[in-house]
Structure 1
Amino acid sequence: MTYLSRIRINPLRAQSRTLLANPRAMHGAITGGITGTPEDERILWRLDADNPHRPHLYVLTRSKPDWTHLVEGAGWPDADGHHAAVRDYTPLLQQIATGREFAFRLTASPTQNTHAPNKPTPAQTARLATETPDKRPRGLRMGHRTAAAQLHWFLTRTEKWGFTIPDSRTDQPAPGLVPSTPHPVADKTPPWEPNPARDLRITERRRHSFTKGGKGPRITFHTASFEGCLRVTNPAAFTNSLLGGIGPSKAYGCGLLTLAPLPERKG
């Protein structure tokens, strides 16, 4: 069985400030609510801070969690209201069918593999130097940093994830504005438009940088939060994307795709 949880975070508490600033610390706090071992779980999580005064943490787990420690240390343990809602994920999975449309939200870490980074670190330079005519090291994983590249990364992979993004339902562009390429193709060279005519938008872009336990090499990655409408094309692949996550950096709050009913459209 699978469960989706939503936990309210109080950003004014000391523990909350640590968790909100460090994805590794948040991951540790989340695993503390799981009875099984990390090897038995595929934990996905995402922090939504649209309202900085009321951030919400979403967590997908295989076993039923207990978030008492998070509510007591980083929430409002004595206030009114539901501080940690835990729901069975099965009813949503049963709604997955070809052609079904949902509103969605996803925070992901768009990346590419390259053997020629623009500004390699000393460690990357040393790794690339091991290349020989008979042995080529695996490409370096580099984060996409621009909105255009992040959108292109997303749009060229949706079919693999089991869905597509419908065309935008907004009005036609004003005279003189040329619509963007409607169907980006993976691995094609630019140009591509930063705002494709799809029902999709980036709501937040961030750079994360931290160390493990305050020591050791620094972990740095870039994220983009996507929102819009999707249409299911392959229910099996789409279910795998929901349960297994999308893209890298899942331990640090990336990859959780959440769905909601589409709002009523006035016609």
Structure 2
Amino acid sequence: MTYLSRIRINPLRAESRRLLSNPRALHGAVMGGVPGAADAERLLWRLDADDPHRPHLFVLTRSKPDWTHIVEQAGWPDADGEHAAVRDYAPLLDQIATGREFAFRLTANPVQNSAAPVKPTATQRSRLDASTEDQRVRGFRLAHRTAAAQLDWFLKRTERWGFTVPEARTDPPATGFLPPPVVGFLAPPAAEPDPRPEASATAREVRITDRNRHSFVKNGRGPRVTFHTATFEGRLRVADPDVFTARLLGGIGPSKAYGCGLLTLAPLPGSLGS
């Protein structure tokens, strides 16, 4: 079985502030919600803080979880309402079919691999200096830091994840008028358009709604971990149900332990099952 949970977080409590500010601490709290050893299963989770006064934690687990400890330490344990909703994931998985469209949200860590960073850090420079002709240094995982690069990273990989993002349902701008770009959308070029068909960018039904840089020290004294995240929202169309289901259950991209990779779906108005 697979379960999707939604946990309400009270941001005014001391433990909540610690969890909300440190992905590693929140990962530890999430792992405490499932029975068995810490490596018994790989969880996916995501913190949605659109409303900073009412953040929600989403978690995908293979075993049925218990979030009592998070509710008691970082929620509203004595208030009315459903503080930790746990739902069977099977009904949603049963709706996955070729051509089916959903609204989606994903927080990911867009990265690229490079053997020669433009501005290497001290650690990267040390590794580069230690390389030889016979023993080349392994490529470095570098973050995409701009919204345009992060969106490009996402759109170039959707087919390998089993889905496509349809073209945006908008009219083209009037001749001679180019509106200011919206963060996360592929904006038309300001220069004279290239006549080659492959050079024209097509706006897609996706935008970046949030971007963050995270940095913390492991165990308070270990190496510093730094990564960048982007939250994508939009509309997708299932292309390969098996591959798509595998990404729903296994996650997308790196840094899954720190709140990246969980793709969640919602029915579109007027669609089957909405």
Structure 2 length-normalised TM: 0.89
**Separation in 2, partners of 1:120, 1:200:** 32
Segment drifting more, 14-23 vs 204-213: 204-213
Paired letter, 2:253: G
Which deviations, in whole Å up to 9, do the C-alpha atoms of 1:30-67 show, x marking residues without a partner? Answer: 11111022322120000000000000000000000000
Aligned match for 1:253, one of 252, 259, 271: 259
The answer for unaligned runs of 5 or more in structure 1 is 182-190
Q: Does 1:29 align with 2:35?
A: no
**Separation in 1, partners of 2:200, 2:257:** 31
Residues 152 and 192, structure 1, Cα contact 8 Å, conserved in 2: no
Paired letter, 1:108: A
**Separation in 2, partners of 1:138, 1:59:** 33
Q: Does 1:236 align with 2:247?
A: no
Query: How big is the shift at 1:264?
Result: 4.3
Q: Does 1:148 align with 2:154?
A: no
Query: How big is the shift at 1:131?
Result: 2.2
Query: How big is the shift at 1:192?
Result: 8.7
Residue 166 of structure 1 aligns to a residue whose secondary structure is coil
Query: How big is the shift at 1:180?
Result: 4.1
Q: Does 1:51 align with 2:51?
A: yes
Residues 209 and 218, structure 1, Cα contact 8 Å, conserved in 2: yes
Paired letter, 2:257: A
Which deviations, in whole Å up to 9, do the C-alpha atoms of 1:147-181 show, x marking residues without a partner? Answer: 01000100000000000000001222232357749
The residue aligned with 2:222 is 216
Alignment of 1:149-228 (within 5 A): 149-176=149-176, 180=188, 197-228=203-234
Residue 237 of structure 2 aligns to a residue whose secondary structure is strand
Structure 1 length-normalised TM: 0.91
Which deviations, in whole Å up to 9, do the C-alpha atoms of 1:112-161 show, x marking residues without a partner? Answer: 01122122111111111232222212110011000010001000000000
**Separation in 2, partners of 1:220, 1:16:** 21
**Separation in 1, partners of 2:112, 2:60:** 26
Which deviations, in whole Å up to 9, do the C-alpha atoms of 1:76-125 show, x marking residues without a partner? Answer: 00000000000000111111010000000000000001122122111111
**Separation in 2, partners of 1:89, 1:173:** 42
Residue 213 of structure 1 aligns to a residue whose secondary structure is helix
**Separation in 1, partners of 2:133, 2:60:** 45
Which deviations, in whole Å up to 9, do the C-alpha atoms of 1:205-227 show, x marking residues without a partner? Answer: 00000011221211000000000
**Separation in 2, partners of 1:108, 1:26:** 16
Residue 34 of structure 1 aligns to a residue whose secondary structure is coil
How big is the alpha-carbon RMSD for the aligned residues of Structure 1 and Structure 2?
1.7
**Separation in 1, partners of 2:177, 2:101:** 29
**Separation in 2, partners of 1:60, 1:192:** 38
**Separation in 2, partners of 1:96, 1:180:** 33
Paired letter, 1:148: A
Query: How big is the shift at 1:251?
Result: 0.2
Paired letter, 2:255: S
